[in-house]
Amino acid sequence: MADETVAQLRQKIAQAREVIAHLMDKAAFNGAEAHRALDYFGSNAFKKDFLPWPRHTDEGLRPEELNAANDD
């Protein structure tokens, strides 16, 4: 594998862990965000900006600030 591919896979796994931990904490297993995460992690696509919040900045919304009103 190319170094870039390996790096992207490691980043994707790190993203998966953050999403799964958040969903488990909030027990949102049937919500829209849970399905979005499952679709993403079930695909081969990589999106650098998959997470809905910035990792190391104070800009944007943290998971606890996200509006879950669309979780139908």
The residue among 15 and 43 whose pLDDT is bigger is 15
The answer to whether residue 52 scores a pLDDT higher than 90 is: no
Mean pLDDT across the chain: 74
Q: What integer pLDDT is reported at residue 28 of this predicted model?
A: 58
The answer to whether residue 27 scores a pLDDT higher than 60 is: yes
Q: Residues 7-22: what's their mean pLDDT? A: 85
Burial 12-44 (b: 16+ CB within 10 A, else e): beebeebbeebbeebebeebebbeebeebeeee
